[in-house]
Amino acid sequence: MIHFVLLISRQGKVRLTKWYSPYTQKERSKVIRELSGVILTRGPKLCNFVEWRGYKVVYKRYASLYFCMCVDQEDNELEILEIIHHYVEILDRYFGSVCELDLIFNFHKAYYILDEILIAGELQESSKKTVARLIAAQDSLVETAKEQASSISNIIAQATK
Amino acid sequence: MNPFSSGTRLRDMIRSIRACKTAAEERAVVRKECAAIRAAINENDQDYRHRNLAKLMFIHMLGYPTHFGQMECLKSIASAGFPEKRIGYLGLMLLLDERQEVLMLVTNSLKQDLNHTNQYIVGLALCALGNICSAEMARDLAPEVERLLQFRDPNIRKKAALCSIRIIKKVPDLAENFINPAAALLKEKHHGVLITGIQLVTDLCKVSTEALEFFRKPKCLDGLVKTLRDVVNSPYAPEYDIAGITDPFLHIRLLKLLRVLGQGDADASDCMNDILAQVATKTESNKNAGNAILYECVETIMSIEDNGGLRVLAINILGRFLSNRDNNIRYVALNMLMKAITVDAQAVQRHRATILECVKDLDASIRKRALELVYLLVNESNVKPLTKELIDYLEISDQEFKGDLTAKICSMVEKFSPDKIWYIDQMLKVLSEAGNFVKDEVWHALIVVISNASDLHGYTVRALYRAVQTSIEQESLVRVAIWCIGEYGDMLVNNGGVLNIEDPITVTESDAVDVVEIAIKHHSSDITTKAMAMVALLKLSSRFPSCSERIRDIIVQNKGSLVLELQQRSIEFNSIVEKHQNIRSTLVERMPVLDEATFSGRRAGSLPATVSTSSGTSLNLPNGVAKPAAAPLVDLLDLSSDDAPVPSSSGNDFLQDLLGVDVSPASVQPGTSQAPKAGTDVLLDLLSIGSPPVQNNSTPSDILSSSQDNKSSVAKLDGLSPTPSGGAASMIDLLDGFVPNSPKPEDNGPAYPSIVAFESSSLRLTFNFSKPPGNPQTTLIQATFTNLSPNVYTDFVFQAAVPKFLQLHLDPASGNTLPASGNGSITQTLRVTNSQHGKKPLVMRTRIAYKLNNRDVLEEGQINNFPRDL
């Protein structure tokens, strides 16, 4: 089971955190501080696994971002790397060659996509196409709602002119 | 954008935060934004709730408190539109966790949304529930989730399946409700549903044996095997393809479930052999995805019931992994070999050389795994080469790795050393290389071993002398060295006990003192080292009379030490050196051999030294034992030497005191009296320096507590003291061994059998018991002393002490001269009153002093073999 997902920038800024096991706010910031200290200092050629507090943290660097997932000792680390890559590919398709700025300004989108890939710390969908389709459908629902809202407010605005 | 929009947009807020150059600026921006959001919340502004929540999440991610937004999430979830619900649920998962009470308020909204007509809203609710639900919510909403497992849209079914995992983890009792719906999911074709369904079944099997039995049935198992076969053999499917493999995620989950089902079930394991063999042989291993599958497959093969052929296959895959250049693959190989070692140690041993190389890897994760694996691989036959490799590596390893490495080396050397000299050699190497990383108990153990290896004392002290010349900064090496120089300094100087493998070495007395002096003055030496050095100096002052003056000077330098312990040692030792020349040599005799069994027993108990010492004491003397009155040794240091007759047999007791080391009295040193002695009494005497001498039958607990206090303070420094309990106990056992515990009662003899209370090669003491009528608490003991030696004993004095719950009265003895060879005896009557009659048996400590050819002899013992009901 994945206990949490972290996206940390090269500078140690947090870009996304998702917790599937209960951690208090205090613990969360401690975990982030501890792990960014360990992971950001590791050399490029080293393996992508860090043993930490009886868990394993699997991380992978994409450009300026570190994607980290904390899993149980008996979980398959190599598969977690694939899950990270799966997520990155979906982000890439959604944003069109994703970069860190996309994830900063559209952080909520990154969360929505993650929620279509993982629930309760387990993998939900192995098809990138399906995930993209589901996200697109929900985005269009939001768009329609927004249009309706703005047309109503236009009507009100005109009526009260 | 909305023409009425007030405040900044999310994008603008992020920009302004990113533009901040200092943390203070950032805080100011965030404060301003938070104030605006609070204001909006207070006005119950609905138009911008969506945007405000998004802002809050961003602020939350930066690490600022956002609890005031929690209710906004709930309101947003409760509103009708999809966009509000979407951001509301996101905020709920981000800003709250399952332990917050607020979460309970959302249960009702969740229930409504789980029944919503819009499937995307159902999806949102399932996702939130799966990520943060608490046990109460799990109970309340389980029926909804169960129903959604059969929802028409597969995307809802898969979410419901993962949500069910969370529910059964929170409330395992609910597992049985999910067995049937989960079984239905296994038959699906949609990969998302299949993956989540398999995961659900795996978790069900972990929490419920009922589920495990159900899914082990051939009709389910065969279906799973077939699914795996289909996916392994499936043609190219672009939607699920990763590196030429169709859906590795599905592969891995199936293999994982098969592992759970096959574990401990030979039939089930049999069913899956073929497909496992196929996966193990056919999967491409040039990409990570393929290796992930192979890794999972190997783990399944190792876990299910034995099939020799498959295991060979699996070990071979691990061998290939181990030689892979990718660090990730090597890491998982090491990880898996740890599990394989219980299955097939021989096969893992074949890769020993490679694994040993991995210990030296650049990567800390790999090093750690490899070291643990090497540790598991050590046995009697390979301990020497492996230790050599690791010690060689110790020289060049990273500082942060040295702690782990030394711990493992020490542990394997201790466990598997074929002989003592090798053990000592290896430990000296480790101490010289990384002495600062060695734990205290490790060098304590080394000292115990050295003390026991009497033929290696000379060799060891010379080796330590050499080592310490080059590695003075390794504290634990220095400690062991000064201890040994203090004990065996004479062998260092006169080359005692030279082994033929040694290089000759010439050390003068002042060279030896130099080492100790350097240690005591070295800036990095801590108080323990200094205190040990002090004792070593005292010992050397007697071993090397020529250096006595210089040693006194060094000792005196610490007279003004701010550390009380050092100051005290300095002053006391100085007075020993100055004023008590004639007793000094007996006072600082060599330590008796430390008892290995006691020491290892205490280590096994893994109690801190001080705690175990005091508990050991109370174990030994459960009720406290009073010190005999008029003990000739009380306040020894205050007595002028003329009237302080020092029995030779108790010299080492003083030593123990001075060192704060109480050695088991059972390990009798050659050359001293063979009589078993309980050193504790003397110990107590010495430690009570400065406190009034305690009289017979006075409160023994005082002594006990004072001794504990003293001891713990000293023990902290030295930490070396094996508890006296073990020794005393073993002595008693020894006595019990050859003393008939209950001789046949004579026909008209007393109601209680008489016992031999004490026996040595020279003296026997028997007790006969009788009870005065009408007073069951009191026992009259007739003590009879018999001299077994051919010499007459004069000035014979018998003393006894009892714990607090007993009262003891000694009548005058029948005489004070004991004729030789059992030609007569002394009798003495003791009256003991047991206030705990019927609950606790009698116990007594004795001391017998007499003169043999005008020489003082002292024999001590503890009597535990009283008949039970006295």
| Judgement on whether residues B711 and B759 belong to the same structural domain of the protein | no
**Which CATH number does the domain housing residue B836 bear?**
2.60.40.1230
Six-digit token pair at B6? 């007030």
Contact A47 B327 (CB under 8 A): yes
If asked whether residues B707 and B623 sit together in one domain, one would say: yes
Compute the distance between CA of residue A25 and CA of residue A14 in angstroms, rounded to an integer. 14
B825-845 pLDDT, tens digit each: 888 888 888 888 777 788 888
Asked whether residue B704 falls in the same domain as residue B790, the answer is no
Encoded tokens for B543: 């071993």
Q: What is the pLDDT of residues B431-461, one digit of tens each?
A: 888 888 888 888 888 888 888 888 888 888 8
Q: How confident is the model at residue B679 (pLDDT cuts 50, 70, 90)?
A: very low
List of chain B residues whose C-beta atoms are within 8 Å of the C-beta of residue A138: 82, 86, 120
Which residue among B674, B700, B731 closes a domain?
B731
Counting residues of chain B whose pLDDT is more than 90, the rounded percentage is: 15
Considering only alpha carbons, which residue of chain B is nearest residue A113? B90
Residue B866 is predicted with a pLDDT of 81
Phi, then psi, of B685 in degrees rounded to 5 = -55, -50
| Angstrom distance (rounded) from CA B334 to CA B355 | 8
Task: Tell whether the model's pLDDT for residue B186 goes beyond 50.
Answer: yes
**Are B604 and B726 within one domain?**
yes
Q: Is A152 on the interface with B (CB under 8 A)?
A: no
Residues A101, B692: Cα–Cα separation, whole Å: 80
Same domain, B781 and B715: no
Distance CA B391, CA B271 (A): 48
Q: Which among B424, B415, B366, B355 has a CA at the least distance from the CA of B389?
A: B355
**Residues B666 and B601 reside in one and the same domain:** yes
Amino acid identity for residue B421 in this structure: I
Task: Choose between B868 and B637: higher pLDDT.
Answer: B868
What average pLDDT does chain B have? 77
Confidence of residue B468 (pLDDT cuts 50, 70, 90): confident
Is B749 an interface residue toward A (CB < 8 Å)?
Answer: no
**Distance from C-alpha of B722 to C-alpha of B446, rounded to nearest angstrom:** 14
Q: For residues B5 and A153, give the distance between their C-alpha atoms in angstroms, rounded to a whole number.
A: 12
- For the segment B305-328, what is each residue's pLDDT rounded down to a tens digit? 877 788 888 888 888 888 888 888
What pLDDT, in 10s, does the model give residues B373-410?
888 888 888 888 888 888 888 888 888 788 888 888 88
Average pLDDT (B601-626) is: 39
CA dist., res. B369 & res. B350, Å (int): 17
Within an 8 Å CB–CB cutoff, is residue A18 touching chain B? yes
Torsion of CA B58, B59, B62, B63, to 10 degrees: -130
Render pLDDT for B61-108 as a digit per residue (tens, 0 to 9).
888 888 888 888 888 899 888 998 999 999 999 888 767 778 888 888
Determine the longest span between alpha carbons in chain A, in angstroms.
66
pLDDT for res B98: 66
Q: Which of B61, B83, B162 has its CB closest to that of A145?
A: B83
Task: Give A82-94 pLDDT, tens digit per residue.
Answer: 999 999 999 999 9
Please list the residues that pair with B758 across neighbouring strands. B765
Reported as a single tens digit per residue, the pLDDT across B248-274 is 999 999 999 999 998 888 888 888 888
Query: Which burial class, exposed, middle or buried, applies to B48 when counting CB atoms under 10 A from its CB (0-12, 13-18, 19+)?
Result: buried
Report whether pLDDT(B714) > 80: no
Q: Which residues of A fall within a CB distance of 8 Å from B76?
A: none
Examine the domain organization and report whether B725 and B848 are in the same domain. no
Q: How confident is the model at residue B588 (pLDDT cuts 50, 70, 90)?
A: confident
Mean model confidence pLDDT for chain A: 91
**Each residue's pLDDT tens digit, B420-432:** 888 888 888 888 8
How far, in Å, are B80, B614, B623, B726 from residue B618 at the CA level? 73, 6, 8, 12
Domain count, chain A: 1
* Residues within 8 A of A (CB atoms), B 275-294 only: 288-289, 291-292
Any A CB within 8 A of B4 CB: yes
Least CB–CB distance from B365: residue in A18, A51, A142: A51
Give the whole-angstrom CA distance, residue B844 versus residue B707.
19
Looking at the structure of chain B, the number of domains it has is: 2
Average pLDDT on B767-779 reads 81
- Per-residue confidence band for B648, with pLDDT thresholds at 50, 70 and 90: very low
Instruction: Supply the pTM of this predicted model.
Output: 0.65
Residue B148's pLDDT is 92
User: Which pLDDT band holds residue B746 (cuts at 50, 70, 90)?
Assistant: very low
pLDDT at B676: 40
Domain that holds residue A126: 2-159
Please indicate whether residue B639 or residue B566 has the higher confidence score (pLDDT).
Answer: B566
- Chain B nearest C-alpha distance from A63 (Å): 19
**CB neighbour burial string for B264-297, b if at least 16 within 10 angstroms, e if fewer:** ebeebbebbbebbbebbeebebeebbbbbbbbbb
Nearest beta carbon to residue A81 from set B90, B99, B288: B288
**Three-state DSSP class for B196?**
helix
Dig out the tokens for B681 from the structure: 């009494």
At A120, which CATH number?
3.30.450.60
Q: Which of B702, B731, B760 is the last residue of a domain?
A: B731
ipTM above 0.90, yes or no: yes
Q: Is residue B832 part of a domain?
A: yes
Question: What one-character DSSP code corresponds to residue B350?
Answer: T
Residue A117 C-alpha, separation from nearest chain B C-alpha, in angstroms: 10
Q: Residue A22: list chain B partners with CB under 8 A.
A: 97-99
For chain B positions 167-206, those within 8 Å of chain A (CB to CB) are: 191-192, 195-196, 199
Instruction: Determine the structural domain holding residue B808 and report its residue range.
Output: 746-863
In a domain, B411, yes or no: no
pLDDT in tens, B796-822: 888 888 888 888 888 888 888 888 887
Residue B2: which of A107, A134, A150 has the nearest Cβ? A150
Q: What distance lies between CA A111 and its chain's CA centroid?
A: 5
Last residue of a domain, one of B731, B760, B784: B731
In a domain, B38, yes or no: no
Q: Which of B81, B90, B366 sits opposite A47 (nearest CB)?
A: B366
| Residue B745 pLDDT > 60 | no
- Which residues of chain A have a CB within 8 Å of the CB of B101? none
C-alpha dist (Å) from residue B389 to B338, B358, B365, B487, B779: 20, 12, 19, 33, 67
Which of A18-27, B31-40, B553-562 is the least confident region?
Answer: B553-562
CA B82/CA A139 separation, integer angstroms: 10
Nearest to B162 among A111, A122, A146 (CB): A122
The residues facing B808 across adjacent strands are B832
Q: Percent of chain B at pLDDT above 70?
A: 81
Please answer yes or no on whether A22 and B3 come within 8 Å at the CB atom.
no
Q: Taking a contact as any Cβ pair under 8 Å apart, which residues of chain B between 362 and 421 contact chain A?
A: 362-366, 368
| Partners of residue A127 in chain B, C-beta under 8 Å | 191-192, 239-240
Bridge partners for A18 per DSSP? A5
Provide the token pair at B29. 């921006």
**Cβ of B49 under 8 Å from any chain A Cβ?**
no
* Predicted pLDDT of residue B697: 41
Rounded to whole angstroms, what are the CA distances from B22 to B15, B28, B65, B139, B145?
A: 14, 10, 19, 48, 48
Distance, CA of B563 to CA of B571 (rounded, Å): 12
pLDDT at B652 over 60: no
Judge whether B828 lies within some domain: yes
Give the Å distances, CA to CA, from B417 to B395, B403, B404: 21, 21, 19
**How many CA atoms, within 13 angstroms, populate the side-chain half-sphere of residue A89?**
17
- B688 occurs within a structural domain: yes
Helices (H), B79-153: 82-95, 107-114, 119-132, 135-148
**B530-552 mean pLDDT:** 84
Q: Are residues B720 and B761 in the same domain?
A: no
| Residues B664, B773 within the same domain | no
The better pLDDT of the pair A35, B836 is held by A35
What is the rounded distance in angstroms from the CA atom of residue B483 to the CA atom of residue B469?
15
Half-sphere exposure at residue B189, Cβ-oriented, CA atoms within 13 angstroms: 1
